[in-house]
Structure formats: C-alpha cells, structure tokens
Structure 1
Amino acid sequence: MTESRIHHASFSVERGYRSPRERVWAAFTDAASRRRWLVESDGWTVHAYDPPREVKPGAVETSRFSPPGADIEITNDTTYLDVEPAARLIFAYAMTMGGAPLSSSLSTVEFFDEGAGTRLVLTEQGAYHDGNVAGREEGTRELFEALAKELAEA
C-alpha cells in the first residue's frame, strides 16, 4: 500500500467586481456562464461537463478536463450544500488527477454589496493529497480573474 501524506489547510480569496451582486451570482450559477469561466478558461480541454439544472442544496456538478498541453485528466465532483440566492453558496468538492485523489474541500462563497458592485469572498478548507495548497489558492485567484472576463470587467 502506498502511503500518502494529507495536508490540511484553509485559505480565503477576495475580489471586487463592478457588476451588481445579482449579475455576479448569475455568472456563478448559470451553467453556460459557469462552463465558460470555470471549466474552459485559458485553453483547458473539457472532456465532460454535467452541471445541475438548478443550483440548490443536494445538486451535483461533475466535470472532467485537462490543462493546456497536458495529457492527464482531472475530475471535479461538486455537491451543493447550502444556497442563499445572491448571498452565499456552500459546496463540497473532490478532485482527482490521473485517477488518483487530489483533494477534498469545503468552500463557502459569499456575495456582498460593495457600492454599486460586488465583493466576492471564497473561503476553502481542504485536505490536499499533493500538499499544493498555494497552487490551489493561486488557481482560485485565476478563476476569479476568468470570472471578471466573463463579466466583461477585465
């Protein structure tokens, strides 16, 4: 049996957007929009994407994708746990890479009014098999920038 060390960590990422909270919420929960900024961003190859019909507690989202230029598949299986429209999402997700466990996480995304725009705050607590917590945080920051492009704010 191969022994792997699990690294537990948490981090928070914040970003402001000029768009109103309802628009940022829609980009976060609409399947077509979410696919563009979350799954297809920056040249990733999408092998499968199965979003929920509605983002609600118990809804499940699955995706399989590969990074640009890489011949390895990553999976993401997400279950929504708590949904407060235009205010909060809490979801759990597990990722694999090449069939091996990569991480299991609990994420809370909060949407706050900030003037005429929105402040988005994501807090993640996770168990990371690869120990690359800094990489996950940086990836989240990159996704928030992809969301800005989706909102035409970049």
Structure 2
Amino acid sequence: MPNHFHLLVKIKSDLELSRLVKVQNPDKAMKAGLHSPPNIFSKQFARTFNSYSQAFNKENKRHGALIESPFKRKLITSDEYLMNVIIYIHQNPQNHSVAQFPTYNFSSYQSILSRSKTLLMRDEVLELFENRENFVLSHQKMIDFSDEF
C-alpha cells in the first residue's frame, strides 16, 4: 500500500520527558494538558507532519490535508513484539513480498545492514536480533499484523 508509512520511535521515559518539559517550558510544565510529558510525543509529531505537508504542498503547488490524522500508536511490551514490528515494517512496503523488500529504497533495512554512518539505532537493533545473520534470517518469515495496523 503506497498510501501509508510506519515509524518505530523509542520514547524517553516519563521522568526524562518531565525534565525536558520543565527545561523547555518552565511556566507551562504541568501534569496534564497539551504541554504535559505524555503529550509531547504527539505534539512533536504533529509539528513534523504539518511542516512536511506545507513543504510538499508548496513544492507541488497544491493545498489541503496531506496526512490524515490521527496516527496510530502501539505500545511495544516485549523484545519479541519489538522484533516482529521491525520485521513487519521492513516487509510492508512491498505488500509483504519477502523476496523483494530488501531492495526497497525507502526502508531502514539496508541501513541496518550497512556499516555507513546513520542516525538509526543500528547497534541496538542488531543486538536485539543477536547479530546481522539472525537479523537477515528473521526477515525470511512473514509477519502478519494486518489486524493491528
């Protein structure tokens, strides 16, 4: 499906977020509302999506909504679930074609396997799968989260 994307984002702990809110907005730091630590994540993504939409619309001489909301969030509760989500995200762009997804240009799969500089948490991902070989082998099985996403 070319009309959607998946992001896997590690959120800081509530304590770290509380500190961040107090540093950035000492007068607005509160336990509830728009500036509360639990809402920082949504607020930051809203800014990112809005900025992207505005730039895309300007470049393509169009107007209107580009990204539908709300976006969905899933809490990752185990390493096994995290591994399956990573595999699902990598397999997803090619409509679940296990043979073709490694060549998809807009995926983190090749970046995880490469040794070039990246902002991805490559080492943590490979450690989760134990090593590169297991990372590749794990991606050979189909992951079906169609009911969840």
TM-score normalized by the length of structure 1: 0.25
Larger Rg: 2
Bigger relative CO (Cα 8 Å, ≥ 6 apart): 1
Normalized per residue, the structure richer in helix is 2
Normalized per residue, the structure richer in strand is 1
